[in-house]
Structure 1
Amino acid sequence: MTSNMITGVILAGGRSSRMGEDKGLVMVDGLPLYAHIANRLEPQVTHLMVSSNQNQEKYAVRYPVIGDLIPDFAGPLSGMLAALLASETEWVVCVPCDVPDFPDDLVQQLWKGKGQSPAAYVSDGNRAHPALCLLNKSLLPSLKSYLEQGERKVMLFFSQCGAKEVLFDNTGDFSNLNTPADVKLWQQSSRKGL
């Protein structure tokens, strides 16, 4: 694998209702949360963009921004569809804007684990984390059709397209920051080096 084959996409297109504000723009240690994601993902890919449906001008200060093609916050698959359409590379890796501790070799492990499948997603052994995934542009027609039928479940789509589950060891790497309390706890633990 070479990184010029893969575009990275930060998924920041949700409503962020539990956070109370746009999750990707929550300030942590002087940086918006999406920038923490970008700093970890950027070395693993050649191109990076942000999928967002609000505050796009704030994200666009640093990266190209794409919005969902399906209105009303249709979920992560809608962001993935937009990313696949916008990407100039055959492969796209997606990372949500609220998972700042994903591994430094996420893309490499997903690439190795995908086999011949057009998609691969993270599992920590206890549960799947399908929004952390690697997708091939060949999925565009089936993903578009799936969403047009009103379907939104990521794991159901991945099951239908034969996506590979890739097992990662450390469950803590995939913790979501959904609330201000989650952010505060992560901030404290990262300062302690935990």
Structure 2
Amino acid sequence: MTTQDNPATLKGLVLCGGHSTRMQEDKSNIAYHGMPQWQYLVSLLQSFLPEVYISCRPEQVPGFSAYPNLVPDNVPFGGPSAGLLSAHALQPATAWLVLACDLPLLSKQSLELLIRSRNTTTAATTFVSPVNQLPEPLIAIWEPAGLAMLQENVTAGKNCPRKTMLSTTITLLENPYATEQFNANTPEEKAEVLSNLRL
């Protein structure tokens, strides 16, 4: 595991590989802020990090052809673990600040807090979910050791990033901007967000 004195290089990863079944349209392309959501999140991450990547399924690659840093899923399973572990396989010494694509209210203030509070001696740094008080695995900094542990768990049939976090030592933060952790997963939630953003 890395230390605070010798941290792994931190890069950004926006997870766009989900099927958006409940939303009934690609969540990464919804324009909450006048641009596709993936572009909004990439822009947020680029405010802090020099390298930001997009995780997607192989069949999505043509839709992101204008963006140079793509990580197509290259593992024999789906879900968010596929994106995390495909990035880890590509750059195993890298720490990744991971964002799900369905976070329309996220802003720089939450990311600044997360990065400032990063603890490289633990497997990950993340926020407490205001919904269930559990760790947020997809608004998180995953250290290489944490991703290696996720790989071990997935190989053993435990394909759940949150359960990996719960099984190891992580840095868990209370976010004073916890409303920014809202996930928009349905057309109704999309409409609610758009209505609130217009106020």
TM-score, structure 1 normalization: 0.84
Letter in 2 for 1:81: L
Task: Tell me the TM-score normalized by structure 2.
Answer: 0.82
77, 89, 92: which is aligned to 2:81? Answer: 77
C-alpha change, 1:97 and 1:80, in structure 2 (3 Å) is same
| Stretch deviating more after TM superposition (48-57 or 91-100) | 48-57
* Partner of residue 58 from structure 1, selected from 34, 59, 63: 63
Letter in 2 for 1:69: N
* Cα deviation 1:102-129 (Å, max 9, x = unaligned): 2414444234434321311111555332
Q: 1:100 to 1:63 in 2, by over 3 A?
A: farther
How far did 1:180 drift? Answer: 2.2
Letter of the aligned partner of 2:81 in structure 1?
A: L
Equivalent residues, number: 189
Write 1 or 2 for the structure with the bigger share of strand.
Answer: 1
Task: Report the residue type matching 2:87 in the other structure.
Answer: A
Aligned to 1:44: 48
Query: Structure 1 unaligned runs (5+)?
Result: none
Whether 1:92 and 2:96 are equivalent positions in the alignment is: yes
Gaps of 5+ in 2: none
Question: How is 1:90-169 mapped onto 2 (pairs within 5 angstroms)?
Answer: 90-115=94-119, 116-126=121-131, 127-128=133-134, 129-169=136-176
Instruction: Provide the C-alpha distance between the structure 2 equivalents of 1:49 and 1:100, rounded to a whole number of angstroms.
Output: 18
Give the stretch that moved more between structures: 104-113 or 11-20. Answer: 104-113
Partner residue of 2:190? 183
Taking the aligned partners of 1:27 and 1:18, their CA distance within structure 2 comes to 17
Q: What SS class does the counterpart of residue 13 from structure 1 fall into?
A: coil
State the SS of the aligned residue for 2:126.
strand
Distance 1:88 1:48, change over 3 A: farther
State how far apart, in whole Å, the 2-side matches of 1:41 and 1:89 are: 19
Residues 1:32 and 1:143: Cα distance change in structure 2 (over 3 Å): same
Aligned to 2:35: 31
- The structural deviation recorded for 1:29 is 5.2
Is the contact between residue 92 and residue 144 of structure 2 (CA under 8 Å) also seen in structure 1? no
- Report the Cα distance in structure 2 between the residues aligned to 1:167 and 1:25, rounded to whole angstroms: 29
Counting aligned pairs with the same residue, the percent is 19
RMSD: 2.4
CA distance in 1, matches of 2:48, 2:173: 17
Q: Is the 8 A contact 1:8 1:47 kept in 2?
A: yes
